[in-house]
Amino acid sequence: MFGVPILEVAIGLSFIYLLLSLVCTTMNEAIASAVQRRGKMLAEAIHVLVGDAGMKDKIYSHPLITSMVKEKNSLPSYIPAARFALALMDTLTGAENPANDSKALKAGLDTASPHLKTALSAVLADSRSHLLTDQQKIEAWYSDAMDRVSGWYKRKTTLWIWAIAAVVTLALDANTMGIVKILWSNQAVRSAVVAAAKTRSLSILKPASQLIYRSNLRMMSARPLAVCCQDGNRTGNL
């Protein structure tokens, strides 16, 4: 297709390993969904955060959290900071008090575990100017913890992908030298792989180019209006 065998071999090899990487990523996502890896790691992180399995279970049984899952026994893979804060506050203040009742919240801390009482007391004493309410302070505390959890999950996912890649490579006998030899010696295979790579790249680039084109059209259509407004302002100033 390009008339340069070494270039076509390079394109074909890159495309084949791109497909293999997509296979590994898809398999990892399927396994993570099947074993609820995200949900379990999130539950473990919240357990560490509140320091009490009982409190973690109460938060997870709160309607704000249970409404986030489709099946009864499944775990949410993501809990927004606002929902976590409200569920925790509502659990600590009790059913007879509103969740944003500061006095009831501090009174509820007296019945909490020593870990949660110490941690949450420090959180509520945060005097940073952009944290005005108890809910905002708890949300910031939770978000900071989730940033660390995200790093843990990425490292664990990397290990999983490496393991899956090793299995896929051995199962498919993805030998780089063997693939290069086949692509170099077989013109038909090389052309087919390069054509598939071209088709795939066009399917990705075409929507992106259309988006850029529409964005440029909107900018060009808005520019005359802005110029007219500027000219009108100049005329008014004169």
Residue 172 forms part of a structural domain: no
- 100-141: pLDDT as tens digits: 888 888 888 888 888 988 898 898 888 887 888 888 989 999
d(CA 69, CA 75): 7
Residue 20 forms part of a structural domain: no
Range of the domain at 214: 187-238
DSSP string computed for 86-148: HHHHHHHH-TTS-TT-HHHHHHHHTTS-HHHHHHHHHHHT---TT--SHHHHHHHHHHHHHHH
- In 3D, which of 132, 62, 72 has the Cα closest to residue 99? 62
Between helix 37-50 and helix 53-60 the angle, nearest 10°, is 130
Specify whether 38 is located in the same domain as 91: yes
- 37-66: pLDDT as tens digits: 888 889 999 999 988 888 899 999 999 998
Number of domains in the chain: 2
Specify whether 158 is located in the same domain as 194: no
What global pTM score does this model have?
0.68
Residue 74 forms part of a structural domain: yes
- In 3D, which of 39, 44, 35, 75 has the Cα closest to residue 160? 35
CA 113, 75, 39: angle at the middle one, nearest 5?
85
- Residue 151: CB atoms within 10 A of its CB come to 10
